[in-house]
Structure 1
Amino acid sequence: MENSKRLVHLDLKGAPPKVAYFEKIFPLLKKWGATGLLIEYEDMFPYWGPLSEIASEYAYSKECITSILQLAQENHLTVIPLVQSIGHFEFVLKREKFKSLREVPNYPMALCPSNSDSLLAVCMMIDQVVELHPGIRFFHIGADEVYHLGVCEKCKRRMAEEGISAQQLFLVHVKAILCHIKETHPNINSIMWDDMLRHIELPVLLNSGLGDLVEPMVWHYLTTFMLPSDIWDKYSTVFPSIWIASAFKGATGANVYATNIAYHVNNHTMWLDVMAKMGSKFKKVQGCALTGWQRYDHYAVLCELLPQALPSLGICLLTLQQGSFTAEVHATISQDLKFHSPLPLNPFERGAVPPCQFPGCGIYLEMLAFLQLDASYGEFVHDERVLTWMNEYMMEKKFSNPVHIEPILAQSSVILDGISKIYSQLELALKEVYHPNTVEEWLKVFVEPKMKKMSDVVEKAKIQLSNP
């Protein structure tokens, strides 16, 4: 895939970096073989007019968008915007103004495709994004993981009257969006995630008319191939061109905060093998998007932050460019990120992390330090000694034996001191890259609860020892 496009996915629905951070990392992405960016703005785009309330408090300004595009151009990175068009629409449907567009009134995930205002809203969003991205050649409409489809009364009536299935309801909605793009922005080619197409029968897919309107992006983040066995024959019959999508982070757990690089390397080598065998079925395999999910949905907690996963991104990009993962790839990225020795491929294997120096390395180092301390914390709170001699009942009755409480106090004090130091250092490192809301969220979700727990243990242990 050395001649294919390699897109770095920037998932901005969680932890959107300051523009200054992009200025630091775009040259690295270019050096490692990236040819473009797939930018999923969600609520970080500065929507205006009737859409203005969609934009978050920290949304990029129009000037910021211009700066990002300029930085991308300077580093020869093509920009492809991504705007969701039916599912994963929480960032819009959570707003009171747009609640009437929900497929399920109590759930803010999916648009109702039978509500004419749904199509108007999506097309308006697309038009505004295109306006601020002059000259783009591709646009991604999302359209993945639509968990609620054809369940509202309006959709049920429509399916009954028109004699169509929920799958066809989806296809009609998507086709309307794609036709809007083709008619309004004729120089733009459309892309969509493929998962909603995987189990649609070939005749239905052929009759949908999507084959001439969109290029599916087939995503798969596991290390062994588990997609339908007929997927390549079916897609190649309908679509002349396709994309694939791997993952360099954010695909191993909704609240995982450290990246297992070895896992993602295996995902990329799997894709290289699959494309070597199946790519010839298509007129063109456009390339690969290396996804880096930041939240599993709009309401989920943050997972692996971009600076923490930059080593993984570098290794995965270079692996795609070179066609395999080698010791040379490992050494090159280690050197580019100024590691004193080869960077660790699996942070979950305890061991010293070599010093390094790259944009955001403070976040990387403090998070790996926290990962190791987090393991010690977990062992401590489940330790038989703590559960036996310092459980809540014993503390309430002030019934304890100092011979056991003293070592518990000593160990808990060490863990608390370690967490407190990481908190201070990580807060400073996060502030260099992120806005205050991201800094606050990460610390409050991952660090503060453990710090509070250990503070409580230390305080109670001291009380017990003061009243023997």
Structure 2
Amino acid sequence: MACTPWPKGRKLVHLDLKGAPPRVEYLHKLIELFSQLGVDGLLMEYEDMFPYKGELQLLQATEQPAYSREEVLSMQEFARSKGMEVIPLVQTFGHMEFVLKHRLMWHLREVPQCVGTLNPHKEEGVKLVMEMLRQIMELHPGLQTLHIGADEVYMLGEGEDSKLWLASPGRTVEQLYLSHITKVAKAIKEAWPHVTIIMWDDMMRSMNQDTLKASGLIGLVQPMLWDYTPNLDVEKTVSLLEKYCSAGMSDLWAASSFKGSTAVYTCVTNTQRHVDNHLQWLKVAASLSAGVNLKGIAITGWQRYDHLSVLCELMPVALPSLAACLQTLIHGQFSAEAQSKVTEMLGISSVEVEAMEKTSAAESSFPGRRLAELIVELNLLLNSEDVRFFESNMLVRGWLSPYHRQRMMVTPLISMQIHSQASMYLEMLQRMTEAVKEEMVRLYPDTTAQEWIEQHVNPVMAPLQRITEDIQACLKEMVP
């Protein structure tokens, strides 16, 4: 079904830098492409890639250097020259893993075993958050809008301080959440009165209007309702947005997804899944009452589910998905016209990255295309049954079982056949991995390539390597 195009407001693309932070030259190429695709703002989640200084310097990444102050400024300047606003996203309550993982910050956790949630009772915690924000503001001259995160505040109310606070009659975990966010939002407004504050909405979904109204948060923040699922519940989402509006928060945002929300370890993006998510969001936008002021949509591209989880798909394999999602919003449907616009703009034969034809390097195409092609090709081999389930094939199970290997009693002819098969796969994997690595380090830090290979390739290669080594050892015992 065709909806009307996305009604109004800004189309932001979320750049999640807590994993696979692009090299600055590649970041500029991406921003250039985004502007061609019709993006008018960037939601920048720097995490440990921001050049914090002074006492906060320990928050900087150690795997690879954080962006320099000059790089952060030049990136903004370049984005602005393309008509894009840069909106930093700084977590201030939940998902503070990159802060609270440091031993010096352990005492600021809500509970010891939850690395993400800040203890809302410690004044030092609020000071820390405000110092992070101050440094962000300082390095974003002329900043108009700020996103303070505040999603998925796990284990809230479980800490000793919180239990004490909740022991007073009439106090709830909802109030505890709202009081911290209100305190932070008020402090921001006091320091920078002109700044618009956005926050994730999920912790407020189950709250009633009266609780929200009584929080003191009304007029301070604009909730951003996120849902990345292809089968998003339109009715439920509309009623949530209407609830926030009735509580006095009529300026609202939506958040969809173009990558990083399928499974925590996904390697290649499925465009249709993300297009379906945007088709549902179009239905939501078309069903809202006039009172709801939809400020825009953030199309999120998660690089990790959280600071301590594995890498999701890298940007190059997700660019066809991003282009398709934007065209879906612009056309109000994913029509043939929308699809041909994507294939034309990116110079590809299919909107699905797995189905696009390979090109010669000379052809103009989207930034990172060569890496996308190599990842798709390698991923296909990594997931082929012959390779992934090599240990389950008939010859291995029949003539090279753990029993045989332990006793070093094998049939040499069959073992040599297995060895030659395993070696062939290993050689192919090594060759393709080398090509991926070579291309990846042109766009990303070396550590990203290393992590990606350790995550996706090594677990598949290890059993094959083990088999070849075991066979060699057995043949030494069996063949003169």
TM-score range, shorter chain: over 0.9
Distance 2:227 2:128 in 1: 30
Q: Which letter maps to 2:337?
A: E
RMSD: 1.9
Deviation at 1:31, TM superposition (A): 1.2
Query: Are residues 1:327 and 2:336 paired?
Result: yes
Kindly state the Cα deviation for residue 288 of structure 1 after the two structures are TM-superposed: 0.7
CA contact (8 A) 2:260 2:302 kept: yes
Q: Judge which range, 389-398 or 76-85, deviates more.
A: 389-398
- Looking at structure 2, the residues matched to 68 and 352 of structure 1 have their Cα atoms a distance apart, in angstroms, of 30
Report how many residues are paired. 462
1:9 corresponding residue in structure 2:
14
Deviation at 1:2, TM superposition (A): 5.2
Structure 1 residue 162, shift from structure 2 partner: 6.7
CA-CA distance at 1:353 after TM superposition: 4.3
**CA–CA separation in structure 1 for the residues paired with 2:383 and 2:459:** 15
Aligned to 1:390: 400
- Residue type matched to 1:443 in 2? I
**Amino acid paired to 1:412:** A
Code of the residue aligned with 1:189 in structure 2: it is T
My pick for the range that moved more, 102-111 or 223-232, is: 223-232
CA separation of 1:21/1:202 partners in 2, compared to 1, >3 Å: closer, same or farther? Answer: same
Aligned counterparts of 1:286 and 1:312: Cα–Cα separation in 2: 23
Greater CA drift, 409-418 or 55-64:
409-418
Task: Provide, for residues 71-90 of structure 1, a one-character-per-residue CA deviation record: whole Å limited to 9, x for no partner.
Answer: 10121111000000110001
2:333 counterpart letter in structure 1 = S
Secondary structure of 1:108 counterpart:
coil
Closer, same or farther in 2 for the Cα pair 1:379/1:330, shift >3 Å?
farther
TM-score under structure 1 length normalisation: 0.94
Moved more, 370-379 or 258-267: 370-379
Segment drifting more, 32-41 vs 393-402: 393-402
- Residues 284-295 of structure 1 mapped to structure 2, 5 A cutoff: 284-295=293-304
Match of 2:3 in 1: none
- The code of the aligned residue for 2:358 comes to P
Show the 5 A alignment for 1:181-200: 181-200=188-207
How far has the Cα of 1:160 moved from its partner? Answer: 2.2
**What are the residue-to-residue correspondences of 1:184-333 with 2, within 5 Å?**
184-226=191-233, 228=236, 230-238=239-247, 239-278=249-288, 280-333=289-342
Query: Residues 286-316 of structure 1, C-alpha deviation per residue, up to 9 Å, x if partnerless?
Result: 1110111111111111111112211111111
Deviations along 1:135-194, one digit per CA (max 9) or x if unpaired, are: 121100000001110111111112223741111001000001111111111111000001
Q: Describe how 1:54-453 pairs up with structure 2 within 5 A.
A: 54-57=59-62, 58-161=65-168, 163-226=170-233, 228=236, 230-238=239-247, 239-278=249-288, 280-339=289-348, 341-344=349-352, 347=354, 353-355=357-359, 357-376=365-384, 377-402=387-412, 404-453=414-463
Name structure 1 gaps, 5 residues minimum. none
Identity across matched positions, percent: 38
Give the TM-score of the pair, scaled to structure 2: 0.92
Aligned-partner residue type, residue 257 of structure 1? C
- What do residues 367-423 of structure 1 show as CA deviations (whole Å, max 9, x unaligned)? 111211012222323334323322222222223334543443333223212210111
* 8 A contact 1:139–1:188 mirrored in 2: yes
> Per the alignment, in what secondary structure is the counterpart of residue 442 of structure 1?
helix
Paired with 2:271 and 2:395, the residues of 1 have a C-alpha distance of: 35
Paired AA for residue 388 in structure 1:
G
- Please give the alpha-carbon distance, in whole angstroms, between the structure 2 residues aligned to 1:198 and 1:32: 32
Structure 2, unmatched stretches of 5+, are: 1-5
